[in-house]
Structure 1
Amino acid sequence: MPMSDYVASIRSRIGTDLLLLPGVTAVIRDDDRFLLARHRHSGLWSLIGGGVEPGEEPAAALLREVLEETGARVRVRGIVGVYGGEPMMVTYPNGDQVGYVTTAFDCELLSAATPDLEELLELGWFPRDAIPSLPRRDWIDRVIADAPGGSESS
């Protein structure tokens, strides 16, 4: 999906300089299996998510992003956590630098999911212990560990 009008308007003024953006992440799980997506721009596996638009509630942004990227509907069961810092810094192929602060939501899949083939190349269900062997965004390890039933959750 192309960048939002909001981000495009900021980019027109700051170029590729670092931009801090709010995001949402869907931790879609079925017991100890997690739905991951392999992203076109990086080829890496990650959780599904995206940016929060101005005036949009984070939970509404999550539902919109999952629907746009997978055609699926989810039910939010709760918040896993909020994540940011160095692991959430991305430089896109066009040079745009972004630092995300993302709210990760624990979700249940309610309908079939299919990758949009624009942002996502494929989707897959992975057991928790198989995820560290995938080529992936490293930040998802912390989110998955914090997800309900995780070995490190409190």
Structure 2
Amino acid sequence: MGYIEELRKIVGTRPLILAGVGVAIIDDYGRVLLQKRRDGLWGVPGGLLELGESTEEAARREVLEETGLEIGELELIDVFSGQKYFVRLPNGDQYYSVTVVYRTHDIRGGELREDGEESLEVKFFFLHELPNELSPLFQDLVEHYFGS
């Protein structure tokens, strides 16, 4: 059982503040890697930190788990937090996410593939060809960082 599951046994569904990461992976053609999640929205790979894990370690772990790619150097883009990032899960669990977002061009290995659990599909997109169903975090990332 993971940290969050153990914490939920104590606090129930009450709101928590959870730290997470997201990674904008840019390929040699200038395309960004997006993943389609179970909620039908496209966004950058990422997830929540485990106890004792740095944000950089979490970023590399989540990317590998969700996309099959091994990444190296990371550049900090920004930290996204606040009321806009409140989440209420179907099971009633609630949380406010604080998400550290990185960018990388440093794809070191692996083979691009979805994990079938968190990533239903993974694909590189040019910014002018993004799907319509974007996560709020990725929409903010595009506006803030990519200037669209």
Deviations, residues 5-37 of structure 1 (Å, cap 9, x unaligned): 211111001111111111011111125321100
Match of 2:88, as an amino acid?
T
1:129 positional shift: 2.4
Contact 2:22–2:45 (CA under 8 A) maintained in structure 1? yes
* Mean Cα deviation higher: 116-125 or 86-95: 86-95
Q: Point out 4+ residue stretches in structure 1 off by more than 2 angstroms.
A: 108-112, 144-147
Write the distance in 2 (CA, Å) between the matches of 1:21 and 1:50: 10
Give me the TM-score of the superposition, normalised by structure 1: 0.85
Matches within 5 A, 1:2-151: 5-30=2-27, 31-40=29-38, 42-108=39-105, 109-111=107-109, 112-131=111-130, 133-147=131-145, 150-151=146-147
What TM-score, normalized to structure 2? 0.88
Q: Distance in 2 between matches of 1:25 and 1:139?
A: 9
Q: Which amino acid aligns with 1:84?
A: S
Gaps of 5+ in 1: none
Deviation at 1:47, TM superposition (A): 1.0
Letter in 1 for 2:32: F
CA contact (8 A) 2:56 2:74 kept: no
RMSD, matched Cα = 1.7
Length, aligned pairs only: 145
Q: C-alpha separation between the residues in 1 aligned to 2:122 and 2:143?
A: 20
CA contact (8 A) 1:80 1:146 kept: no
Uncovered stretches (5+) of structure 2, i.e. residues with no partner: none
